[in-house]
Structure 1
Amino acid sequence: MVDRFGQCGLQWVLRASGGDGPSMGAQDIGTLVHEIAHDLGDTDAASYAAELERRWGRLGLPPGWLSRRDLARATAMTDRLATYHREADAGGWRRAASEQAMRVALGRAVVGGTVDRVEVGPSGAVRVVDLKTGSRKPTKDDLARHGQLGAYQLAVEAGAFAEHGTGSGGAALLQLGRAANKTTTLQVQIPLADDPVDPGWARELLERTAEGMAAATFTALPAREVCGTCQVKDSCPAQPEGRRL
């Protein structure tokens, strides 16, 4: 939510108010992958693939080559997930929890929600990992100031996952979809305390975001990467579809 608000405040408030519209097939596939990752835990690729096939009918996709193509795409995601588990284990990171709810006050802001994966490293540091099943990933520069990951780190330090630890070991995006390489792509944001330029950037960003979300007005910020897939264009005065309002 932090990054979404920074991209366009108007889009954020409209979507938060129920303007997303009906769920799309790609979103449903991503949700299914997340469910299986949680329900089966860290297991092998064959087990994930078998469970995907067993649950696939829930999506209600018509039989045919499109469904088979999407199943193959989802299977590639869980294959990457299984590969990541081996890589994480080799690096000393163990899974402590998945789909864990959190809620913590950070100044004026209250950060809440459910995180995909919580890991504990060899030194006892805690890392939140967000599973991504889409086709886009942030650049290296964007990752360094990724607001969602920064908020996760602040939450760790504030005790949101105290049963696992309160020292942040960074946060990460695990790319499983088309944004991934052939195997896995783990995009890691370094611990806030280790930031060589501004260790306080995440807290400052969260404070600005909280002030903005509490405001009485919200500004549309047109940009190709945001507007191209926006589902609330017909309510946006910056778009032709919304100027009739």
Structure 2
Amino acid sequence: MPGSAFVPVSPSSLVTFASCRLRWLLTRAGGDGPAIGSAALGTLVHEVLADGGDADAAALGGRLDLSFGRLGLPAGWITRAKRAEAEAMLGRAAAYFEHAASLGWRRLAAEQQFTATVGRAQISGIVDRLETDDDGRIRVIDYKTGSSKPAAADLARHPQLGAYQVAVAEGAFGPDAIGAGAVLVQLGKAATTKAATSVQAQTPLADDPEPGWAHDAVADAAHAMAGSRFTATVGEGCRTCPVATSCPARPEGGMLT
């Protein structure tokens, strides 16, 4: 890759890249396979929330009725369980909308595409939700529908949230936008019983003791992504890695060593 070429960077991919560069490379090349099971259900929940506005749980459930059949699940207990799981996630989303409103946040956009450039990095993607307050500040919301979540100690330097904040700072959502942080909203099994404690927020860059950390992280990741060496890192993610059979650090991928 020429030294002057832009490097495409997806905020969501930065988490994988930070934990294991080889996994990032292989999944980027198609190693993840098609979305099935819980992944497909999570995608459907995202679509319902994008179309449903800040509706209550009943209204969101009505929208789910219109699209649930697209999953193509057979009749039976598995389908009923998946339906209940989706309804639970939408109920948590509705509770979050009420919680956010009580704190002065209101929806500005949903499923908003964006692009921003930082050095060689061209950050692009779609944010689940943008919120604004009476001061016109903007914060980015990312819905999580899985069963795991980052530790509280890791939020301050969470790469995906940091990339979203960089996008705001670089004018992706308006040239005069003032960032107010970025937030993970847990809707899946990682959520708690209360909306307030299912929210994982990252401090606005301007309030961080190292306000340039996220810009540096994105630029460093882009530089490494443009390289030619991608090492495997053994860690917690190995248990659920979709490309373990191609990994020289795993017994399943031993033939590659």
Contact 1:133/1:177, CA 8 A, preserved across alignment = yes
Distance 1:241 1:188 in 2: 37
Matched, 1:235 2:246: yes
Of the three residues 195, 201, 206, the one matched with 1:188 is 201
What's the CA shift for 1:85? 1.0
Distance 1:233 1:111 in 2: 28
Superposed, 1:26-175 pairs within 5 Å as: 26-162=38-174, 165-175=176-186
Of the three residues 16, 21, 30, the one matched with 1:9 is 21
TM-score, scaled to structure 1: 0.95
2:218 counterpart letter in structure 1: L
Distance 1:88 1:220 in 2: 40
What's the CA shift for 1:24? 2.0
Q: Secondary structure of 2:30's match?
A: coil
Per-residue deviation, residues 172-230 of structure 1 (Å, max 9, x unmatched): 0010011111132111101011113x22211121121111101011000011x211111
Question: Aligned residue for 2:6?
Answer: none
Q: Which ranges of structure 2 fall in alignment gaps of 5 or more residues? A: 1-12
Aligned length: 242
2:18 counterpart letter in structure 1: G
Contact 1:104/1:112, CA 8 A, preserved across alignment = yes
Distance 2:34 2:47 in 1: 19
Distance 1:239 1:59 in 2: 33
Question: Aligned residue for 1:214?
Answer: 226
Q: Give the 4+ runs in structure 1 shifted more than 3 A.
A: none
What's the CA shift for 1:134? 0.6
Per-residue deviation, residues 85-120 of structure 1 (Å, max 9, x unmatched): 111112111111111111111111110011100111
Contact 1:81/1:176, CA 8 A, preserved across alignment = yes
Q: Secondary structure of 1:102's match?
A: strand
Please, which moves more after superposition, 6-15 or 202-211?
Answer: 202-211
What's the CA shift for 1:122? 2.3
Per-residue deviation, residues 15-74 of structure 1 (Å, max 9, x unmatched): 111111232210011000000001111111101112213322111111111111111111
What's the CA shift for 1:121? 1.7
Q: Secondary structure of 2:31's match?
A: coil
Contact 1:135/1:178, CA 8 A, preserved across alignment = yes
Distance 2:203 2:184 in 1: 12
Distance 2:183 2:88 in 1: 20
Matched, 1:177 2:198: no
Distance 1:38 1:105 in 2: 26
What's the CA shift for 1:84? 1.1
Distance 2:14 2:242 in 1: 18
Per-residue deviation, residues 142-162 of structure 1 (Å, max 9, x unmatched): 111101101111110110000
1:63 counterpart letter in structure 2: A
2:246 counterpart letter in structure 1: S
2:232 counterpart letter in structure 1: A
TM-score, scaled to structure 2: 0.91
